Amino acid sequence: MSEESRSIWTRPWRGRRKLYLWFGLLDVAVFVVVFCVGFVLQSAAEAAELALFAEAISVGVGLAAVLVVRFVRWLCCWRNFRRFLFGLVCLLTLVALFYAEENWRGARVWNKYRRKLEARGEQLDYRAFIPKPVPDDQNFAATPFLKAWFPKGPLGGIDKQWGDHFVEINERVFSRADKDRSSRKFVDLVAWQMALDAIRSGQLKRGQEFESDKLDLESRAQAAPMVLEGFKTDETILAELRAAIQRPYSRYPVVYDLDNPWGILIPHLAQIKSTCQRLRLRACAELAAGQSKNALEDVKLSLHLADSIKDEPFLISYLVRLACFEIETQPIWEGLAERRWSDAQLNEIQSRLQRYNFFEDMKLPLDGERAAGVLTADLLYRRKYRPSDLFDLVDRDNSFGGDLAIQLSAVAPRGWYNLEQLNYCRLYELQLEGALDAAGKRVFVDQVSLHAHDLEREVSGGRLGKGLNAVLHHQVIAALFLPELNKVPLKAAMAQTAAGQAALACVLERYRLANGSFPEKLDALVPGFISQLPNDVITGEPLKYRRTDDGQFVLYSVGWNTKDDGGTSGRTLFDEKDGDWVWRSSPAAGR
């Protein structure tokens, strides 16, 4: 027997020992490469963290390589290879069965629900909401000025069409109304005159603001001619728009991209609102200058501009229309407070205001939004959209579960997209069910609040988190877009209240012109001045009214809190938490 010592370096490296050797060498090589590259890109102070990172990467790569090698060696055995093939076939069969079942399940429940909606006359095809083409000679939106709002190039120069300084000044003028938003105030025409004078003299400074709080009639009447002169360059454009009012239809040249409904360009909305703001300023200046006829023409043009987007299937168009309407209630109120309107003018304004039903007008844009949501699920399935595009639209980050939704969208069955459509439409109906009475011009605040709470509970997900819950329960589209509907009934109620109050204020002024004072009760207005009194949209009862000791009046709705606060406003004119929604015949004393 040989007594020579044996060295471990003479043993053959086979089997597991050889595998471990290659694992160690690969681990060291990856560690060195990762550490060196990282050290070059980072500072030496981060060397410790870099070493840990490099070690983790190297171990992971080494383990992956070992597993791959062992699997290949295991697969080289014919018996194992047959087992692998059998298992693979079973797995593919299970996957195919899973997809078939999910596709069948999703399509079945969605088609059943869709047929039920269509039987009620509901429209789910987004193409049906695209306004039909209108001949230019019948289209208000076909005037050269309005067409220019849709340039083929960048949108940046649209405001230069006016040739005035409205945009530059509007952000610099501040008044008491901007500090106290609980009641209506006169437009600060003196501050506007100061800003225009600064521009004319070349003394306008960066960041300079203008405020006077000289809201008495005499000061405003002196400033009004200078304000009107400062915007005289707008006359040509406004004359073009007034001439186009006679055209019976309005169809802006919006390109309805069915492959990207959320990316449709609608640059005219901002321009309509900006035009209405200009017309408000002009009308208020004209009223202060005693030009009530011109003021009425500007009010009518502004209301027509707001109504020109009435038939668009976009919720944002509806909300802009409401905002523009509330903008034009300012000159109506100022003309009443200063007693500038004649009986004939008041009757014309009253008749127009009584035609508004913003609850009925809500149906078209809301149905359009629902159809856009249904279309979105189809676009996601056809890879026209990516989930990341939707998260960018609503400004949601990854905490919402965006990464998981993006990963699953690549392998999701068609039936899951059908379930997205079903849940979107189902939760959409949940939001509005029993919340509105369009014919009666009513909103039921308790139902709106209850539905908002139910929606939040449905999509919140509890311990799972909102994003994960939305993905697992096929509510991604619903969770992204439906919470935005919560405020729509509130906005509609505000605008409808303003319309009812303004119309009734016109009736009260007509009564005062005929009788010398406002009535003790609203019943005195029927039927001589109005056939039926407008009701409070919140309660369905007549609006609250009282004549004050100084011969003025206070008219109010109980507001969103459904509580009669005695005509006391909240922090804003239409506060959603506190106070009543108040219309005063003159500015509130001490405010």
Lowest mean pLDDT among 12-16, 173-177, 218-222, 337-341: 12-16
- Work out the percent of the chain whose per-residue pLDDT is above 90: 57
The string of DSSP letters for 532-556 reads SPPBPTTTSSBPEEEE-TTS-EEEE
Residue with tokens 């005499």: 218
With cut-offs at 50, 70 and 90, classify the pLDDT of residue 30. Answer: low
| pLDDT (tens digit per residue) in 405-422 | 666 677 788 999 999 999
147 close to 550: Cβ distance less than 8 angstroms: no
Amino acid at 422: L
* Cα–Cα separations (whole angstroms), residue 285 to 30, 217, 281, 505: 77, 11, 6, 21
Question: What is the pLDDT at residue 57?
Answer: 65
Provide mean pLDDT across the span 278-298: 96
* Cα–Cα separations (whole angstroms), residue 28 to 54, 57, 171, 386: 10, 11, 64, 41
Cα–Cα distance for residue pair 587/489, rounded to 1 Å: 28
Secondary structure letter of residue 313 according to DSSP: -
Amino acid at 398: N
Closest to 224 measured CA to CA, from 195, 188, 198, 200: 188
Question: What is the pLDDT at residue 419?
Answer: 92
pLDDT over 80 at 385, yes or no: no
Cα–Cα distance for residue pair 170/189, rounded to 1 Å: 12
pLDDT over 50 at 1, yes or no: no
Instruction: For the chain, give the number of residues.
Output: 591
* Cα–Cα separations (whole angstroms), residue 539 to 176, 354, 490, 534: 32, 19, 14, 12
With both helix axes pointing from N to C terminus, report the angle between 292-307 and 235-244 in degrees, rounded to the nearest 10: 60
Cα–Cα distance for residue pair 509/518, rounded to 1 Å: 7
371 close to 126: Cβ distance less than 8 angstroms: yes
**Secondary structure of residue 437 in the 3-state scheme:** strand
Cα–Cα distance for residue pair 158/579, rounded to 1 Å: 40
Pair of tokens at residue 206: 């960066």
Rounded (5°) CA angle 393-399-400:
50
Pair of tokens at residue 499: 């319309």
Lowest mean pLDDT among 12-21, 378-387, 520-529: 12-21
Pairing of strands 544-547, 553-557: antiparallel
Cα–Cα distance for residue pair 494/329, rounded to 1 Å: 12
Question: What is the pLDDT at residue 17?
Answer: 59
Provide mean pLDDT across the span 101-115: 93
| pLDDT (tens digit per residue) in 52-93 | 655 666 666 666 777 777 777 777 787 777 887 888 888 889
Lowest mean pLDDT among 9-18, 463-472, 481-490, 559-568: 9-18
Question: What is the pLDDT at residue 5?
Answer: 47
| pLDDT (tens digit per residue) in 461-500 | 544 445 667 777 888 888 887 877 888 999 999 999 999 9
- Work out the percent of the chain whose per-residue pLDDT is above 70: 80
Top pLDDT among 486 and 554 is at 554
Cα–Cα distance for residue pair 12/21, rounded to 1 Å: 12
| pLDDT (tens digit per residue) in 234-258 | 999 999 999 999 999 999 999 998 8
Secondary structure letter of residue 234 according to DSSP: G
Cα–Cα distance for residue pair 419/421, rounded to 1 Å: 5
Top pLDDT among 75 and 390 is at 75
Provide mean pLDDT across the span 199-222: 88
Other Cβ atoms closer than 10 A to 491: 18
pTM: 0.83
Question: What is the pLDDT at residue 81?
Answer: 77
Residue with tokens 């009701």: 535
- What is the average pLDDT score of the chain? 84
Pair of tokens at residue 295: 């003021």
| pLDDT (tens digit per residue) in 425-464 | 998 888 888 899 999 999 999 999 998 888 887 776 544 4
In sequence order, the β-bridge partners of residue 545 are 555
Cα–Cα distance for residue pair 367/434, rounded to 1 Å: 16
Alpha-carbon torsion (351, 355, 358, 361), positive or negative: negative
| pLDDT (tens digit per residue) in 114-134 | 999 999 999 999 999 999 999
pLDDT over 60 at 516, yes or no: yes
506 close to 452: Cβ distance less than 8 angstroms: no
Provide mean pLDDT across the span 178-193: 86
Pair of tokens at residue 99: 């997809």
Cα–Cα distance for residue pair 60/50, rounded to 1 Å: 15
Provide mean pLDDT across the span 83-111: 89
Cβ within 8 Å of residue 519, ≥6 positions away: 508, 511, 525, 547
With both helix axes pointing from N to C terminus, report the angle between 414-432 and 445-460 in degrees, rounded to the nearest 10: 150
pLDDT over 70 at 15, yes or no: no
Cα–Cα distance for residue pair 427/591, rounded to 1 Å: 44
Question: What is the pLDDT at residue 381?
Answer: 87
Top pLDDT among 442 and 391 is at 442
Secondary structure letter of residue 338 according to DSSP: T
Question: What is the pLDDT at residue 569?
Answer: 93
pLDDT over 50 at 349, yes or no: yes
